[in-house]
Amino acid sequence: LQTALKGRTSIVIAHRLSTVRDADQILVLEKGSIVERGTHDELVAKGGLYSDLYNRQDLTGATNQDSPVDN
């Protein structure tokens, strides 16, 4: 995914936050509205919704990019 997105403007919708961790800008939506915006580090430091979701996923191992995805 990193190679395909390099040097392009892209919109990526993801539930697994490891997918967007390296994005230049992350927009966090809640009920159709943008509630947070920033880089991964900025959003984690802010301690808001993104940080809560990231910490929850990190604790459960859901941010492991090598884990299989069930469809």
Per-domain boundaries in the chain: 2-60
| pLDDT surpassing 80 at residue 63 | no
DSSP state of 25: -
Residues 71, 22: Cα–Cα separation, whole Å: 24
Residues 49, 54: Cα–Cα separation, whole Å: 9
Taking residues 1-7, report their average pLDDT: 79
Q: What is the pLDDT of residue 70?
A: 52
For the chain, where are the alpha helices, taking DSSP H only?
2-5, 40-46, 49-60
More confident site: 52 or 2: 52
pLDDT tens-digit readout, 19-54: 899 899 999 999 999 999 999 999 999 999 999 999
Residues listed for the chain: 71
